[in-house]
Amino acid sequence: MERAERGERILEAAGELLLAWGYRRVTIDEIARRANVGKGTVYLHWKTKDSLMLAVVLKAKWRSQRRQLARMRADPRDVLPSRMMRGFYLDFLAEPVLRALYTDDADILGQLNDTAKKEFAELMELSDQALRGGLEVLRNHGLVRADTDLRHQQYALLSMSTGFFMAEAMLYDRAPDSPEVRGDIFADTVRRALEISPEEFAAAERPAAARGMTHDEAVAAAAPGVIALYARIEEHSTRELRRHVRD
């Protein structure tokens, strides 16, 4: 078995056990047994249990980031906050590890959650910078409202995200059945709070960066700047993932 394939099997086994048993109960012996490798083989890839489990969490975040980048590159409209957050939300629903991380699920993550927050501090800062920078790019192209402080918009967007993410655990018995419907509700909430509609855009005086453009043209013009910010996060996550693997 190739080294990379073996590492993926170990990661997959560790993720399955983390979700089934929780961080505290999972052992390297059980991970090795689930992955059908020797205990020593696990340590050839990861120095400690913490490093392996952090790699599980980081891999889930990395997959979501790659999917988001792919969406934005395929359709520039996915740089708009409403569509971007809908994508992140559906990724969150599809990744049990992300759900545990964002909802502070102590039964699953235990002390790993605190460790992850420390280890991923730089990644979280990059994410904040990308969110703030992306909003600024969109404001400069007349696509996001500029009648309130940028930091307040960032806080509002993070608060909306937190609310919808936490609602999965707290309001599960009252939520619409379909994840897509819930994603649409989230997107509509963000759109109404932050974005300039195509009709408003056509009637408004446009900023210099979007002068003479249609709404779709302004979105296409803004997209490369936003994508570049999120590409930095994906690159950083890739480096961090490698850092948690023994060379």
Give the per-residue SS3 of 137-192.
Answer: HHHHCCCECCCCCHHHHHHHHHHHHHHHHHHHHHCCCCCCCCHHHHHHHHHHHHHH
- In the chain, where are the structural domains located? 1-45, 60-243
Q: Are 155 and 101 in contact (CB under 8 A)?
A: no
Torsion of CA 36, 41, 44, 46, to 10 degrees: 50
| Residue whose structure tokens are 């964002």 | 102
* CATH code for the part of the protein at 1-45: 1.10.10.60
What pTM value is reported for the model? 0.87
> What pLDDT, in 10s, does the model give residues 65-110?
999 999 999 999 999 999 999 999 999 888 888 888 777 677 777 7
The mean pLDDT of 24-42, rounded to a whole number, is 92
Percentage of the chain with pLDDT > 70? 98
Q: What is the pLDDT of residues 109-122, one digit of tens each?
A: 777 777 777 878 88
